Structure 1
Amino acid sequence: MNSSIEPIIYVVDDDEKMRESLLDLFIFAKKRVSVFSSGSEFLEIADTRAPGCVVVDLQMPGSTGLEVQSRLVSMGSDLPVIFLTGEADVSASVTAMKAGATDFITKPFVNQDLLDAVDHAIRVDGERRKLDAGHEQLQDLAGTLTPREQQVMYAVASGLMNKQVAFHLGIAEITVKLHRMSVMRKMHSRSLADLVRKVESLQEASLASDYQALRLQAELLRARNRPLVTGSDTMRLQS
Structure 2
Amino acid sequence: MSTRPLIHVVDDDESLRTALLRLLGAAGYEARGYASTGEFLLDPPPDRPGCVLLDLRLPGPSGLDLQQALARRGLPLPVVFLTGHADVASSVRAMKAGAVDFLTKPVEREVLFEAVERALERDARQREARGEAAVLRERFASLTPREREVFEGITAGKLNKQIAGELGMAERTVKLHRAQLMSKLGATSAAELGRLAERLRQLTPSEPAH
Same fold (TM over 0.5): yes
One-letter amino acid of the counterpart of residue 50, structure 2 = G
Query: Which of the numbers 142, 146, 154 marks the counterpart of 2:152?
Result: 154
**Unmatched tracts of structure 2, length 5 or more:** none
Residue 207 of structure 1: how far off its partner (Å): 8.5
Q: In the alignment, is the contact (CA less than 8 A) between 1:55 and 1:82 conserved in 2?
A: yes
**Which amino acid counterpart does residue 151 of structure 1 have in structure 2?**
E
More displaced stretch, 169-178 vs 108-117: 169-178
Q: Which amino acid counterpart does residue 113 of structure 1 have in structure 2?
A: V
Give the counterpart of 2:65 among 64, 67, 72.
Answer: 67
In the alignment, the residues of structure 2 paired with residue 159 and residue 190 of structure 1 have an alpha-carbon distance, to the nearest angstrom, of: 16
Query: Which residue of the other structure, out of 49, 52, 72, is the alignment partner of 1:51?
Result: 49
Tell me, in whole angstroms, the C-alpha distance in 1 between the residues paired with 2:206 and 2:166: 21
2: CA distance, partners of 1:33 / 1:160: 55
Contact 2:56 2:82 in 1 (8 A): yes
1:163 to 161, 164, 187: 161
Give the RMSD, CA atoms, in angstroms.
1.9
In structure 1, give the amino acid aligned to 2:101: D
1:93, 1:169 → 2: CA distance? 55
Which residue is 1:174 aligned to?
Answer: 172
Q: Quick one: distance in 1 between partners of 2:136 and 2:103?
A: 38
Q: Which residue in the other structure is 1:22 paired with? A: 20
Work out the CA distance in 1 between the residues paired with 2:97 and 2:206. 26
Tell me the equivalent position of 1:185.
183
Point out the structure with max Rg over C-alpha. 1
Asked whether 1:76 is paired with 2:74, we answer yes
- Indicate the residue corresponding to 2:94 in structure 1: 96
TM-score normalized with structure 1 length: 0.81
Contact 1:48–1:77 (8 Å) recurs in 2: no
1:102, distance to aligned residue in structure 2 (A): 1.5
**Structure 2 letter corresponding to 1:194:** E
3-state DSSP class of the match of 1:53? strand
Range 172-181 or range 112-121, more displaced: 172-181
Question: How many Å apart are 1:170 and its aligned residue?
Answer: 3.3
Cα displacement (A) at 1:131: 1.3
What whole-Å deviation, never above 9, does each CA across 1:137-192 have from its counterpart, x for those lacking one? 11111121101101111221232222232233333322221111111111122233
Mapped partners of 1:98, 1:48: distance in 2: 26
Task: Name the count of aligned residue pairs.
Answer: 210
Unaligned runs of 5+ in 1: 214-239
Q: Residues of 2 paired with 1:14 and 1:67: CA distance?
A: 15
2:31 to 24, 30, 33: 33
Does the 8 A contact of 1:139 with 1:207 survive in 2?
Answer: no
2:107 maps to 109
